[in-house]
Each structure stands twice: as structure tokens, then as C-alpha cells.
Amino acid sequence: MAKRLWELFFTFAKVGVMTFGGGYAMLPILQREVVENKGWATEEELADWFAIGQCTPGVIAVNTATFAGRKVRGNLGGVVATLGVVFPSLVIISLLAGVITTFAEVAWVKNAFAGIRVCVCVLIFNAVVKLWKKSVVDKKTLALYALILLASLLTDWSPAVFVVFAALSGIVLQVVLRKGGEAE
């Protein structure tokens, strides 16, 4: 039992240390570690967690870790996975804090991160393609995808608005309009 908790902590610490550039950059790493390597979740679940993580308070990476940990090992698992994902930040930032303002100005650090950012773009693109295959499954979901992509590019509304709208649309499309009882 304790072994499982340790495994959770370690896996999410790995995810934390490999995430460069914020919550979305974590998606490809989560797909690899949590979905493909450990089999703890499916692509669909990951998409669900990201959606909920965007309309609940807090850091998306933390929210996703809590979801995944809870699924594997209950509430305690949720706490342990979350502690795991923040652990590398705690260590790295505390170690760097003294020299931190100069660190971001060092030439090779700047150059390295310019390279990393390019890679993160490609990795996010690949991650989106995987998610797309699992989430855009018919014309209705395609329409929702296009609508929300456009709206979020053209407006500065909070993601929470889109998430609530999409959930309600899903209920209307799947439940209300099907009251007639016809099957898929």
C-alpha cells in the first residue's frame, strides 16, 4: 500500500520536474507517464480533468495531479500525487533563490529556454492531436470544438465560461434532444 503511494509521489515528481513552461506543457508528459506508462488513466479522463481543472480554482497541473492520485489510491493518493508534482519546484526554487535574478539572465539559460519553447510547441501540438482523436468524435463535437476555439481566440472571456457552456451543450445534445428515446 505504501509502495503505491511512493510510486504516485515519484511519478508526479517526475512529471513536475519535466514540465517546462506552465500547465499546458505538462499535458504531453502526463500522456506519456500517466496514460501510456502507468495506465492510471485514459486520454478521455485526462481531457476531462483538464477541462475541470480550468474552471475550478488553482493551478491546472495541481488539479490534474489531485484527480489522478485520487483515482489510483483514494483521497490520500490525491494529496500524495499533488505533493509529488510540487516537490521539484520547492527544491529547485529554494536552491536557486539566492542567485535567481541572475539565473534568468545567464546567456546559456536564455538560449536553452528559447530551444525548449520550440520543443514545447511541438509536444503540445502532438498532445492536442491525441486528445482531438478522443474528443472530437462526430459533427456535433466538431462544431463545439470550432466554436470554442474561435471564441477563446477572439474574446478574453474566462475559460470557465466556455467550460460551463460546453457542459450544458453536452447535456442538451445528449439528454434533452434525445428524450424521444431513439438510440445512437
Enumerate residues 91-130 that contact other proteins by CB under 8 A: 92-94, 96-97, 100-101, 103-104, 107-128
Whether 27 and 96 have beta carbons less than 8 Å apart is answered as no
- 38 counts as binding other proteins under rule CB under 8 A: no
Name which of residues 40 to 69 contact other proteins (CB under 8 A).
44, 47-48, 50-63, 66-67
- 19 counts as binding other proteins under rule CB under 8 A: yes
C-alpha 132/C-alpha 142 separation (Å) is: 9
Residue type, 16: G
C-alpha 76/C-alpha 95 separation (Å) is: 28
Between 38 and 173, CB nearer to other proteins = 173
C-alpha 173/C-alpha 153 separation (Å) is: 24
Residue 11 beta carbon to other proteins: minimum distance, rounded to whole angstroms: 13
C-alpha 158/C-alpha 171 separation (Å) is: 21
Contact code string over 136-155 relative to other proteins, x by CB under 8 A: x----xx-xxxxxx--xx--
